[in-house]
Structure 1
């Protein structure tokens, strides 16, 4: 069978190389779950990776996906979008090009204005720097809340509480993993998203995401996430 036989995979099916505590890997898991597509999972211990894993992803990162024809895909959003486009009947992505572009911009805004400051705050041991990062995070969540308010006025998201209106879809697949990690910030840094009107749309969306069954299917649990992030916290 050649080189393909030197690492584990599901013959004729999809194999997802994942890690339960990795937010990027959970994106891929949630894409397959939401599309209702069968797949096999190979759990990768990122602190003790299997000797064969570089054959799957030479960079050693998760997630990675082996498709039925043996093609390997990497990067969480690439895999999630592949699933959404490969199984359009699941309607995870909007068909309208403008709506699809607005969705991508929303995900990018979270990735640039929230996620980096989340990790910077976790890793910071300086109180002054932490206070500055908390202010930046608050501004980032305010911007996300404003984007949700705008989306819920559009036909593609009319009324919410999800980006696609009343449907859990690609925005939630892409971002649920990061929303469920917010208690980690509260635990280690005492940061919570403010409860003022400027953040109301964010809180409505976050509540809907956390309570949806698709979130629960891949949620590793609060204590597990807190423990998994401890390695990033210099003063823990």
Structure 2
């Protein structure tokens, strides 16, 4: 691998998984060609035959030969291709913590976010919102308890690993944007640091990640998300 590989990204703005690839490409400054795959339509035969038989995005084609599926594998490939971007820490414990943070959010937090936003029933949404707060409190402890090496900032630094934007921030970033939909279809309100001071670290991290230029590049507007997600609301 040289870092000069030709990359074609198959993407769709709606997909938070594909956004991981967009962020990774921006962070590694790897030039690429982008092809939009319309997720609202049946996939083209050429895409199913030549690129991804499962019809999902993202997929990346490398040097017109090889194709990688699944967003985390795409992002990890780019991280390995460009170690100078420092997306994956070298410390073994931090690497394990990065992987677990991503797993924890996807397994325990994001499913509750989806239940909270995809209902118009006020009572049901309030129940899920309360469950989400409990899950975010557990998640915030992971943010607080990350291992620091002698090369890291000892205090401060709003990303998971302090000042260094990492794979953990990249992998979760696209799903944080969906939290803005809390209350969009019911009478609940989006969570704030003023309301939940015990989640101060979480909100600092969330705001820092959202402000990252690579994340902003990959994030649809709230208006766009609200319109698209409406069809999934019960």
* Same-fold call, TM cutoff 0.5: yes
Measured against aligned partners, the alpha-carbon deviations of 1:128-156 in whole angstroms (never above 9, x if no partner) come to 443332122111111121111112x6235
Q: Which has the higher helix share?
A: 1
**2-structure distance, mates of 1:182, 1:33:** 23
Aligned mates of 2:71, 2:122 — CA distance in 1? 33
1:198 corresponding residue in structure 2: 198
Task: Give the Cα separation in 1 of the matches to 2:135 and 2:121.
Answer: 21
SS at match of 2:133: helix
Contact 2:88–2:95 at 8 Å: present in 1 too? yes
Contact preservation (8 Å) 1:145, 1:201: yes
Structure 2 residue 187 is matched with structure 1 residue 178: no
> Quick check: 1:141 aligned with 2:136?
yes
Q: Would the aligned equivalents of 1:134 and 1:191 in 2 still touch at CA under 8 Å?
A: no
Indicate the residue corresponding to 1:50 in structure 2. 44
Shift in Å, 1:77: 0.7
C-alpha displacement at 1:69, in angstroms? 5.3
The answer (yes or no) to whether the contact 1:77–1:174 under 8 Å persists in 2 is: yes
Which aligned pairs between 1:18-57 and structure 2 lie closer than 5 A? 18-48=11-41, 49-55=43-49, 56-57=51-52
The offset of 1:106, in angstroms, is: 0.8
Do 2:181 and 2:190's aligned partners in 1 also have CA atoms closer than 8 Å? no
Aligned-residue offset at 1:40: 0.9
Q: 1:226 to 1:61 in 2, by over 3 A?
A: same
Distance in 1 (CA, whole Å) between partners of 2:205 and 2:165 is: 11
2:92 aligned residue (78, 88, 97): 97
Mean Cα displacement is larger for which, 39-48 or 154-163?
Answer: 154-163
Aligned length in residues: 222
How far does residue 15 in structure 1 lie from its aligned partner after superposition?
0.8
Q: CA deviation at 1:110?
A: 0.7
Query: C-alpha separation between the residues in 2 aligned to 1:26 and 1:157?
Result: 28
Secondary structure in 2 matching 1:37: coil
Q: Could you tell me which of 10, 17, 20 is aligned with 2:10?
A: 17
Structure 1 residue 157, shift from structure 2 partner: 6.4
Q: Which residue of 1 aligns with 2:158?
A: 161
Q: How does the TM-score come out when normalised to structure 2? A: 0.87
Question: Deviation digits for residues 40-73 of structure 1, max 9, x if unmatched?
Answer: 1111110113232212111111111111151111
Separation in 1, partners of 2:226, 2:158? 27
Superposed CA RMSD: 1.8
Q: Is the 8 A contact 2:148 2:161 kept in 1?
A: no
Contact 1:138/1:194 (<8 A) preserved: no
- Residue 227 (structure 1) aligns with: 227
Equivalent-residue separation in structure 2 for 1:27 and 1:222 (angstroms):
18
